[in-house]
Structure 1
Amino acid sequence: MKIRNALVVTTAVGTLAVAGAASAETYKIGITQNNVGVDSYQTTYEQAFIAAADANENVETVVLDAGGDVARQIAQMEDLIQQEVDAIIIWPTNGEAVIPAVRKAHSAGIPVIVTNSNIAEPGFEFVASFSGPDNITQGARSAEIMCDKFKEMGIDGEAKIVQISGQPGYTTAIERQKGFDDRLPEVCPDVELVETQPGDWNREKSQKVMEAFLVKYDDIDGVYAGDDNMGVGALNAAKAAGRDGIIFVGATNFAVGYEAMEKGEYWGSIYQSPVDDAEAALQTAIDVLDGKDVPFLNYFDTPKITQDNMSEYTKPVF
C-alpha cells in the first residue's frame, strides 16, 4: 500500500531529552497525524516529534500524515497494523470515524495512544492513553479571560460576543467550544453569545466568517476563536471594516496572536507548546510499551496568556 506524505525515520543517536532513562528494547512506533500542512502548530509538532524520536536510539518511527482525510487516516492505521508496529499514535481527523480503526489495532494487540485531540468516548476502551491538552479546560479559561476583561471595562452586564469554532466533528473543536459555552454563563451570566460559526482552523475562512458577522451584527464586543490563527483572521476582518474596540480571545497562542497582542490589538489566549505536545505523545507511547502506569488522560498544562502577562512567555515558534 502506498501512503502519501509518509516519512520513515530510523533513529540512532542519543536519548530522548524528556524520556529519562532509555527503554531497554527497540520499539517501532507509528504515528498518523491529522493534517500537517493546515497550520504551523501541526507542522512544528511533526518536526518536534521527529527530533524527539531521532534523539532516542531505542525508537524507530513511521511518521504519516492523513492530510485531513479520514479515509486516508483509516488506511494508514491499516498499514501500521500490517507492519506490526509496537504502538500507534493517532492524531484523529475525526473523533467518531476513526474508532473502528482504533478498535482493530487494539484487537491486534497494538496499544494506541491518542495525541492532541481525543477520539469520541465510545472508543476510549480501545485506547491505552490520551496525551495532550485538556481542551475543555482551555475553552473554560478562554471564557474567564474574556469575562475578566469585560468586567475591567465595565461591560460585563451587556456585552455581546460571537464565536468562531474549529473544524466540525473534530474533538478539539467540540471540547473547546463546550468549555467556553459552559463556563461563560457561570462567570459572566449577562454576556450574550449571539452566534457560533466554524472557521475550520483556517485564517482566511475565519476572516470571511467574521466579515459576515460584522454585516449581521452592529454590536459585537468580543470574539472567541478556537485558536489564534482563526482569531487573527477575525481581527483582520474587523480592522478592514474599521470596527474598533472588539476584544479578541483565542485558545492556542500562535506567533501571529502573540504579535497582535504585542500591538495591543488582540487581548488573550491559551499558551500551548506543540513541542511539549509531540514529546509528551512519544514519551507516553514509550512508557506504555515499558509497562509503566500511565494515566488514561495524560494532560500537560496550558496556562492563560494576555497582554498583561505575556512578557512571562516566549513567542511561539509556530
Structure 2
Amino acid sequence: MFINNNLKMHVLTASVFMALTTAAHAENSYRIGITQNNVGVDSYQTTYERAFVEAAEAAGNVDIVVLDAGGDVARQIGQMQDLVQQQVDAIIIWPTNGQAVIPAIRQAYNAGIPVVVTNSKIAEAGLDFISAFSGPDNVQQGILSAEMMCDALEGDGQIVQISGQPGYTTAMERAAGFEQRLAEICPGVELMETQPGNWNRERAQRVMEDFLTKYDRIDGVYSGDDNMGVGALNAAKGAGRAEEIIFIGATNFAVGYDAIQRGEYYGSIYQSPVDDAEAALQTALDVLAGEEVAKMNFFETPKITAENLEEFDRPVF
C-alpha cells in the first residue's frame, strides 16, 4: 500500500485503518515512513520515489508513508515529528540539511524508532542516533571525477566548479573529494572559482554564462551532477565555446549519458536511483528484522566515459 501525503497531518482512510489494525501485530509486517528531500527538483528523486514504492509493493509485508519536504528543512522536521507521532516502525530520511535535521532524528531515536538516512549523509554529531546510512559514497565520487578531469586535461588547465545546494551534505562531500584529489594528483590544474547550481539545470546554465563572461579561458567544468553539467554544456554551446571545454559531472542522468555518446561530455559517475531506493528500503527491513547492519552502507558508483559507455544502460531519469 502506498500513502502519499505532503501535508503535515496524515489521515488514514477507514479501509486502510482496518487493514492496519488487523495486521498491526502480524509477524514481519512493518510500517515505514520516508521523508524525502525535494522530489520535484530533478528526475533522479522522482525516479527514486517511484522505485521505492515499487520495492515496497514487491516486498509484500510493508506499508509505507511517503512524504516530501520540498527542500524545506522546517517542513522535513515537522514530517519527522509527524511520523514519530504515528509510531511507524522505522523512518527513512533523505535529509534536506545534514545538520539541521539532527534534533528531529534524535527525537525518533528517543522514541525507539530506528532511522535510516538515505542518499545524503547527516553531520557526524547525529550518527549516534541513526541505525544506518544507505547511499553512495559522495566523497569517493568527487575523487573519481577529479581523476577523470586530470586525465582529460593531461595535468594542466584552468577549471571552474558548479556545486550543488549550499549546506547539503552531498554537495559538500562531492566538492571536497574533487578538490582534495585534484590538488593531490594534478597541481597543474587551477580551480578558479566555485558557484552553486542548486541541482538545477537552468540555474547552472546561468552560473556557467557568468563564468564564460568572466574568464577568457576555461579548460574544464566539474558539476556536482549531470543535470547541472548539461546546463553548463548548454551555456558553452550558446557562447560557441563548448568544443574547448571538458565537461565532467556525477550522478549520470540520461541527458549526460547522451552527451557522452555524442562526444560533447567527457565523463560522469554512474549512480542508479533505483539501486538507491531499493538499498534504503532493504537496509530498513534488515534493521527491523534484527540483522547486524553496518553503520555506513555504500553501493558502487563507477566512472563512466565514452570508453566504457556501452557497459552501462542508459539511465531512466
- Do these two structures clear the TM 0.5 threshold for a shared fold by scoring above it? yes
* Counterparts of residues 130-149 of structure 1 (less than 5 Å): 130-149=133-152
Pick aligned residue for 1:104 from 91, 103, 107: 107
Q: Equivalent residue for 1:55? A: 58
Going by fraction, where is helix more abundant, 1 or 2? Answer: 2
Return the alpha-carbon distance in structure 1 between the equivalents of residues 177 and 7 of structure 2.
Answer: 35
Return the alpha-carbon distance in structure 2 between the equivalents of residues 7 and 309 of structure 1.
Answer: 49
* Counterparts of residues 110-121 of structure 1 (less than 5 Å): 110-121=113-124
Q: What is the one-letter code of the residue matched to 2:262?
A: K
Deviation at 1:8, TM superposition (A): 8.0
Q: Equivalent residue for 1:122? A: 125
- Residue 34 of structure 2 is aligned to residue 31 of structure 1: yes
Q: Equivalent residue for 2:21? A: none
Q: Equivalent residue for 2:22? A: none
Return the alpha-carbon distance in structure 1 between the equivalents of residues 172 and 296 of structure 2.
Answer: 17
Return the alpha-carbon distance in structure 2 between the equivalents of residues 7 and 202 of structure 1.
Answer: 33
Secondary structure of the 1:37 match is helix
Q: Equivalent residue for 1:183? A: 181
Q: Equivalent residue for 2:95? A: 92
The alignment's C-alpha RMSD in Å is 1.6
Specify every segment of 5 or more residues in structure 1 that has no aligned partner in the other structure, as ranges. Answer: 11-22
- Residue 233 of structure 2 is aligned to residue 235 of structure 1: yes
- Residue 282 of structure 2 is aligned to residue 295 of structure 1: no
Normalised by the length of structure 2, the TM-score is 0.92
Q: Equivalent residue for 1:210? A: 208
- Residue 273 of structure 2 is aligned to residue 274 of structure 1: yes
Q: Equivalent residue for 1:73? A: 76
Q: Equivalent residue for 1:4? A: 7
Deviation at 1:24, TM superposition (A): 4.6
Instruction: Give the aligned length.
Output: 300
Q: Deviations over 1:244-294 (max 9, x none)?
A: 220000011000101111111001000000000000000000000111111
> Is the alpha carbon distance of 1:311 and 1:3 closer, same or farther for their aligned partners in structure 2, counting shifts above 3 Å?
closer
Q: Equivalent residue for 1:198? A: 196
Q: Equivalent residue for 1:14? A: none
Return the alpha-carbon distance in structure 2 between the equivalents of residues 92 and 199 of structure 1.
Answer: 18
Deviation at 1:58, TM superposition (A): 1.2
Q: Deviations over 1:128-183 (max 9, x none)?
A: 000000000000000001111112xxxx23x0000000000000000000000110
| Residue identity (%) | 69
* Counterparts of residues 146-185 of structure 1 (less than 5 Å): 146-151=149-154, 156-157=155-156, 159-185=157-183
Deviation at 1:4, TM superposition (A): 2.8
Deviation at 1:3, TM superposition (A): 3.9
Secondary structure of the 1:55 match is helix
> Is the alpha carbon distance of 1:274 and 1:3 closer, same or farther for their aligned partners in structure 2, counting shifts above 3 Å?
closer
Q: What is the one-letter code of the residue matched to 2:186?
A: C
Q: What is the one-letter code of the residue matched to 2:207?
A: V
Return the alpha-carbon distance in structure 2 between the equivalents of residues 127 and 172 of structure 1.
Answer: 18
Runs of 4+ in 1 over 4 A off after TM superposition: 5-10
Return the alpha-carbon distance in structure 1 between the equivalents of residues 47 and 11 of structure 2.
Answer: 15
Q: Equivalent residue for 1:17? A: none
Return the alpha-carbon distance in structure 2 between the equivalents of residues 70 and 4 of structure 1.
Answer: 14
